[in-house]
Amino acid sequence: MVYCLAVSLSAIGQQLPGNQPEQDACNALLLCGNSFHTPYSYVGHGTTLDLSVTPCTQSLMIQDKGEDNDMWLRLEVNTAGTIVFELTPVNYLDDYDWAVLNITNGSCSNLSASQVVRCNFNQNAQVTNNGITGLNMTSAETSVQSGTVGHNYCQYISAQAGDVYLIMINNFGYNNNPSSGFTINFSGSTATFNNPNPPTLNNIQNPCSNNNSAIITLNKPVTCASIAGNGSDFSINNGGVVGSAQGINCSGSQGYTNQIRVNFNTPLMPGEYIIEAQTGTDGNTLLDLCDNPLALPDSLHMRVYELNTTETKQICQNQLPYQWHGQTVTQGGQNVAQATFPNIIGCDSVVKLNLIITDTLIGNDNVTICPDALPYAWNGVTVIAAGNHAARYYTLSSGGCDSIAYLNLTVQYPTTTAYQLEGCGEVVFNNHSYTQSRNALDTIISSYGCDSVYAQLAITVHPIDTISQITDTAGCGMVWFKGKEYDNSQTLRDTLRNQYGCDSVYKITNIIVYPNHYEPHYYQVSDCDSVLFENKTYYANQTLIDTFQNILGCDSAIRYVNISPIHFQIILNADPDSPATQVFVRLNLQANDNNYQVLSWQPVNEFPEQNAYAQHFIPVHPGLYTFIVTAQDGNGCFGSDTLLVSVDSLYPNVFMPTAFSPNGDGRNDVFRPYFVNKSGFEVGTFRIYNRYGQLIYRTDASYTEGWNGNYENGQNAEAGVYYYFIDVRFVDGTNLHLKGDVTLIR
């Protein structure tokens, strides 16, 4: 019997670019555990067509002959036993074909169909067994031909120690979309597989124009989940800092890769570097597909070349035009010329010229002297008076350009100044201390050694007469004093000054903070639906807090009581929710607590597995079906739900309109088939032809989309008569092949 299920495709897998290494048999991913998962979709057959035909060939289509959209896995048997596996698609509508080859004592190259010991090209069009395929202990088939439906399994393999097998897996997504990945599980096998060598760092690449990142290649793929996104799996010397890392082809933590891009926080300066592998902040180093860690220590050498430099030249005005690396430069400035040279690794190295034009150099010599130093001798010139440009001196600069130096001469003559000084207890002037009021004379010497100022001092010294005031202030845990919070005991000092600004009162405040130590006590009170605590009933989560104090009034104990009523709920639903007779209906459970167990299903005679988390049934008669499920969560709370499912009689009829008008008014805009029931049927093919017999529209396994009256290029088809052909299959075995004409009205 054929079942038609409504499916929502919420995600499409990540399709890798063509010619991935694992698409060639000699680069097959080596398996060592009971399970392997890939989130990727593959396209093409790699750089080599390893297997062009298999015993499962039934047609000349390439996807039925050998490898296509494929990837390869490798098994090396360690101990003898049976090999079984299940290949489970992420999207159960994806169609996966596969072949197992025994290459023991052989090579991974020059493969042939004679080495294929098992293959299964079963068609997944009718979605039996949720798209799962593989080897099991009950099937007697060694090969399943392409186009076959419902033969998901082949016979197990009896393996010997030392056997080597290759598994080719062809990816065919649903409705011409990329596949969503798969999991292959060998947990039912009694044979074991060798554990391969750990991964190692292979080489590192940094492009000519990029000193912000580098790409590390490993000798084998590692899991994306083992790569620390903050780059902590790697370190770099010479002041470099690794800031982040991403696996090539990785989408978050899903998938695997043999190339990792490491990004540096700041661009690396030219020089030699060593990148070392280490254990990252995620608690591990890089892990291969078998969770084998990269063996430490491991490192790679990398060199960053100097690619862009600047050369600065200084010339005299009369040296223009200037010749530089075969170029004539007619003026000065920044980046006035540049030259390109290839370096040792073939990267272009650019040198830019900054040209400074020097005219007559003019400088100033600023000199200050005492009066007795006149006349003043400077560069062979005798100067008898101070002033700006008091003398000048001609010479040539080191660059051969004219140079003029001017002397700016200052003579520092002394002055007389009166000072009124006062202070508390002492007055200090020009490093002299005065403790009593008096008049005095002092001389200030300048930095040039000349008498600069004759100071006439009037000094007033105010006496210091102080008293102290001491107070205490205390509190529990903290003290708030003058707008500030103190959480530990300490002494504060404050000074009050008199009208002369001298100290008069020292205020001393002792801050005393008593310890506010308290011991918290936590209690958890839970029950189903409601909680009775201390003669009060609670229906919602709540935390009760009680505080106890000691003899000083400080907190000594706090009680926290978490009230947690447990509201366990389960919801039962049907898919589809409005089925017809003979349609496969799945009963699914949802709960607000994942830790629960199912206790019973009603009617009991319909469901022998009373503790199952999902059920299904196929209604034979129309009518209203009642289902009841009861469950208990991990806290012992019970929940139940009742579901009414209305089942209609199956009417294997199809209505095809004779005309439609795609004018966008929301009525009769699309030409498609109409059914009495909402389920129980499948549209196999649906074709539209024009009057010349040309196919202008087609769809498979869909009836909701329909033809909107346009060609494939989006242009409107002309008004007129068109011819259709449709193939519909019902679950009761009825097959309808309808053809006719429809009028397109514009």
Per-residue confidence band for 343, with pLDDT thresholds at 50, 70 and 90: low
| 5 part of a folded domain | no
| 584 part of a folded domain | yes
Domain stop point among 541, 566, 591:
566
Confirm if 454 and 416 have CB atoms less than 8 A apart. yes
Indicate if 495 and 617 belong to the same structural domain.
no
pLDDT of residue 342: 64
Indicate if 79 and 186 belong to the same structural domain.
yes
Per-residue confidence band for 346, with pLDDT thresholds at 50, 70 and 90: low
pLDDT of residue 447: 66
Indicate if 589 and 636 belong to the same structural domain.
yes
Confirm if 479 and 511 have CB atoms less than 8 A apart. yes
Indicate if 534 and 482 belong to the same structural domain.
no
Which among 100, 94, 146 has a CA at the least distance from the CA of 119?
100
Rounded average pLDDT over 399-409: 74
Indicate if 728 and 620 belong to the same structural domain.
no
The full DSSP string for 451-483 is EEEEEEEEEEEEPP--EEEEEEEEEES-EEETT
Indicate if 34 and 87 belong to the same structural domain.
yes
Indicate if 661 and 703 belong to the same structural domain.
yes
Indicate if 643 and 660 belong to the same structural domain.
no
pLDDT of residue 249: 86
pLDDT exceeding 70 applies to what percent of the chain? 91
| 9 part of a folded domain | no
Indicate if 208 and 167 belong to the same structural domain.
no
Cβ neighbour number for residue 451 with a 10 Å cutoff: 15
| 3 part of a folded domain | no
Q: Across the strands, what pairs with 154?
A: 135
| 2 part of a folded domain | no
Indicate if 205 and 277 belong to the same structural domain.
yes
Non-local (6+) Cβ contacts of 697 within 8 A are: 686, 687, 688, 707, 712
pLDDT of residue 372: 77
Non-local (6+) Cβ contacts of 727 within 8 A are: 683, 684, 685, 686, 735, 736, 737
Indicate if 66 and 155 belong to the same structural domain.
yes
Is the pTM above the cut of 0.75?
no
CATH code at position 66: 2.60.120
Count up the domains in the chain and report the number.
Answer: 9
| 662 part of a folded domain | yes
**pLDDT tens per residue, range 584-638:** 999 999 998 889 999 999 999 989 999 999 999 999 999 999 999 999 998 889 9
Non-local (6+) Cβ contacts of 659 within 8 A are: 668, 742, 743, 744, 745
Domain stop point among 145, 176, 193:
193
| 1 part of a folded domain | no
Indicate if 272 and 366 belong to the same structural domain.
no
| 562 part of a folded domain | yes
Domain stop point among 647, 669, 684:
647
CATH code at position 592: 2.60.40.10
Q: What token pair was written down for 553?
A: 């009034």
**pLDDT tens per residue, range 38-80:** 999 999 988 999 998 899 875 544 444 688 899 999 999 999 9
Residue 382: domain span: 361-411
Tokens 């106890």 map to which residue?
548
